[in-house]
A and B are shown apart, each in its own frame.
Chain A
Amino acid sequence: MNDRLSAQYWLHEKELTAYSSEAVRDRRRSAMERFEAVGFPTVRDEDWKYSSLKPVLAPHYGLRPPCAPLEDEHLEYKDIKRFLVNELDSYRVVFLNGRYSSWLSDTTHRGFDVCTLSAAWKKYPETIDRYFAQLTENLGPLAQLNTALAWDGLYVVVPDNVVVDRPIQVLSFTTGTEPLATQIRNLVVLGVNAQAEIIERHQSLSDHPTWTNAVDEAYLAAGAQLRWVKLQHDAPEASLTQHTRIQQARDSRAQVNTISTGGRFIRNNLDFVLQEPGADARMLGLTLAKGKQLVDHHTLVDHQAAHCTSHENYKGIYDDGSKGVFNGRIYVHEDAQKTDAYQQNANLVLHERAEVNTKPQLEIFADDVKCSHGCTVGQLDEDALFYLRARGIKEPEARALLMLAFAEDALAGIDHPSLNAKLHKLIAGKLGVDLTLDL
């Protein structure tokens, strides 16, 4: 696999970098060289101790030529409708097997850009030069691989003081008659006081194993606001590795909700770099894992400046032989006085074979800060269960209700009623009970 990926780059470097500056080409080239030097991470790497990539890399994946457009692959709107939040008036950027599908998309350049990276290479080379791979240089080999081979993904650039008027739904579908590996690269640049909201979903429609390796870079200028909902409810044979890195200037706010309920293997790296005072980062996660699913969350809040705040709350419910990893790193630099950082990771383990490895990792070099963290691993509260049953609620429903209640606060901050309702329904469905929650 390593050789095939490496060959892809060197064979196609010219096309991949055709419209780019030398600097961008060098970034890609050195990313590939770095990937070649270390290869895929293994469980011997501290960061991958509990999550073996072996099963993800085992299938013989087909690789599409990196820059080729969509050819005979085709999807109709009716095929994808159920994966959208339909009630939501939104921009839509749809990818199929790692390639932009204009047929299914609804993009814009009016006042701001909501389009694709594949178009941006040629159209906006200066922006690419300024932002592409500037946050990812020191990340792990999977991100390097993506930097080298990236061709398509979401491209959002919003000028100062502009609010993107509708949420952006970005969907990446995988289809086909063989295992397929794809790279997705998303770039988001928000100007001063700009605002945008993204709803992201990766979805395999194939019966074969798929592996999506994605990287997101987001730049928030002063006062900018970004909300990002990551809905990871993929097919049973799908694997996702994704590194999201968000850099925040003064008084900017970023919130990421990650809902991981489907797929065979999920590895999320989520980094916030708080560069200037007043920046605020919020991350909420909900994992519901069953069967042999593995969900690994590695988060990092890099408090570089004073007076920044971060709030992190991850919940997980693990059943059967599923496995969870939570590694929450908070790094407070010497100058980052008055930092206010909160981290919480709570897990329910429903089966004796299920496993959760949770590790808070706080490195604090400033002396005037408020940092708190906690993690719990437990079972459902028997007193609560008896209380519900004594009111006539049957045991399975009572369990589901308690799990739903446990999960509830991970959906905080999702204000669109239709999205919220969809997520609730999905979660209740995953818990095996159809609860009608509204009165």
Chain B
Amino acid sequence: MNSVGKYFSDIFYGIKSLWKGLMVTGYYFVHPGTIVTQQYPENRKELKMFDRFKGEVILKHDENNFHSCNGCGICQLNCPNGSIEIISDSVPNEDGKSERIIDKHIYHLSMCTFCGLCIKSCPNDSLAWGQEFEHAVFNRDVLTKILNKPGSRIKKVPKEPKAPKPVTETVPTSNPAN
């Protein structure tokens, strides 16, 4: 008698559990408002990534085409797999001494692992994350980018005049000649 009871209770338990599952999917079927798909190529105009989105590494330029990279090469040292190549140049500056400027800041997007060490270690804070995410190309060479825009120069931060050392009366302590 027990097994007969168990037989029927198994059937009812099974049907009840299946019915609960059906209700979940049935609910989503009759509520098309729960659809989460974004219609991608049509919504490009409204599509805006978050501010900190890691699209690619860019060199920050302001509206007058100034950047702040001085070609020190610290980003190249810190990059784990050689995605950055710095080609710098020596030019004489206004004091007559030769100074290093950046010639080409080569960035291999195809090799970059987006670790962020170059951006974190730059002493002049000149690198940043860009928002561009559509990087699919037909030719891999296009992915090797030169980050400093043509015609851009480093923004010269005028040196602050050194504060004069406070003059102290030196009291002769002892005569070294003695």
Q: Do A and B bind each other?
A: no
Q: Point out residues on B near A: beta carbons under 8 Å.
A: none
